[in-house]
Amino acid sequence: MKGELHFRDRAKAEELARLIRELAPEGPIKLVHVCGTHEITIAEHGLRSLLPPQLEVLEGPGCPVCVTPARHIDEAIELAKRGHILATFGDMARVPGSRMSLEEARSEGADVRIVYSVTDAVALARRTDREVVFFAVGFETTAPMVAAAVLDGLPANFSLLVSHKLIPPAMEALLQNEHGIRGFIAPGHVSTIIGERPYQVFPTRYRLSVVISGFEPLDVLYAIALLLRQLREGRPQVVNAYPRAVRPEGNRRAQEILSEVFEVVDHHWRGIGLIPRSGLALREEFREWDARVKFGLDLKREKGDDQPQEALHPGCRCHLVITAQVTPDECPLFQRACTPRTPYGPCMVGEEGMCNIWYRYGGRPKL
């Protein structure tokens, strides 16, 4: 494991931590990443204890399960209750919709199956005569696999409930209100697909730097140091600090099949609300695989749908965690009433949710 040692070298980590302390401005400063894997790196390696107290690094909308709107979960439950097999990822099944979760629907008799990929779901459909609906959630990383499955040809008893989302528009949505964000750490996985260009809007329009980062502790510390240096020098730009995986242009082939199968549409994000051009929908020629069309789904809109706090328990601050306005321990429910076993909100359910990660990896240690 030579590579691992290289990216976890203690002396280098200490050197970067010293650099970060030198570069950090005196007042409070907030940086945002948008990826559960980055949050796990930060929490698991205790990186926050190496940062100066005025510097905060928050997750933002980096957990696909957490930002899936309650309305889409309700649609999945509706399809399952009509007798179809609803295939989804494990933690998606446990997120509450506006009345219940898919797991609760299963205990009432709905056929909900846990799968690890769209390929599993397609294989499931080939083994049965019943309709299999795959609940397609995730960002630019998972959507190409679904697009490839569509292009490969799907069985007639298979359809997609699409809830795919795009990360850069969500980053931009965070900047529409009072936010205090001084820079972004961009997700390495998503960036391998989309490349550097979609982040260019941040230095140009908002004078904010973006550093594309990998997932080892030294990657993240380095990204933080770069953001602080650009801030000090007043030269906002997009920097690819993960060139061992991310090409400037991204993965062209994945981008092509994505745009062949999907079109970009306005989309609701749980905890944020409607974000223009932030989601994917199947193009006209693939509508026969769209479960909403195939089964004439038209759930009644309810008052409060589309609001950031839609379908959250009273007191749950998940919408503020998702918009990088509070840390999990600033929520009075965190670790007391709200735990992974008794979650109040999606951020404690999703394994990439900041509350879930802080719970598993020791929260913010005031050490």
User: Out of 8, 21, 30, 229, which residue is the one contacting other proteins (CB under 8 A)?
Assistant: 8
Determine contact, residues 213/222, Cβ cutoff 8 Å: yes
What residue type is assigned to position 302 of the chain? Answer: E
**Closest to other proteins by CB, 79 or 357:** 357
**Closest to other proteins by CB, 177 or 342:** 342
* DSSP state letter for 224: H
Binding part of the chain for other proteins, among 93-101, 188-196, 255-263, 292-300 by CB under 8 A, reads 93-101
Residue 192 beta carbon to other proteins: minimum distance, rounded to whole angstroms: 19
The answer to whether 235 contacts other proteins (rule: CB under 8 A) is no
At 271, give phi and psi (nearest 5°).
90, -15
**Closest to other proteins by CB, 40 or 148:** 40
Burial code (b: 16+ CB inside 10 Å, e: under 16) for 49-77 equals ebbeeebbbbbbbbbbbbbbbbbbbbbbb
Determine contact, residues 212/188, Cβ cutoff 8 Å: yes
* DSSP state letter for 222: H
The answer to whether 317 contacts other proteins (rule: CB under 8 A) is no
Which residues, numbered 282-311, are part of the site for other proteins (CB under 8 A)? 311
Binding part of the chain for other proteins, among 60-68, 167-175, 215-223, 297-305 by CB under 8 A, reads 215-223
Residue 24 beta carbon to other proteins: minimum distance, rounded to whole angstroms: 17
Burial class (CB in 10 A: 0-12, 13-18, 19+), 114: middle
* DSSP state letter for 96: B
What CA–CA distance (Å, rounded) separates 152 from 140?
A: 19
The answer to whether 81 contacts other proteins (rule: CB under 8 A) is no
Residue 367 beta carbon to other proteins: minimum distance, rounded to whole angstroms: 4
Give the x-and-dash track for 104-123 against other proteins (CB under 8 A): x-------------------
**Closest to other proteins by CB, 217 or 273:** 217
- Nearest CA among 29, 33, 31, 32 for reference residue 54: 29
User: Out of 214, 280, 344, 350, which residue is the one contacting other proteins (CB under 8 A)?
Assistant: 344
| Cα-Cα end-to-end distance for the chain | 30
The DSSP secondary structure of 284-309, one letter per residue, reads GGGGGGBHHHHTT--PPP-TTTTSTT
The answer to whether 18 contacts other proteins (rule: CB under 8 A) is no
Binding part of the chain for other proteins, among 117-125, 139-147, 266-274, 336-344 by CB under 8 A, reads 336-344
What does the binding site for other proteins look like in residue numbers (CB under 8 A)?
Answer: 1, 4, 8-10, 13-14, 17, 43-50, 96, 98-100, 104, 217-218, 221, 311, 313, 337-338, 340-344, 359-363, 365, 367
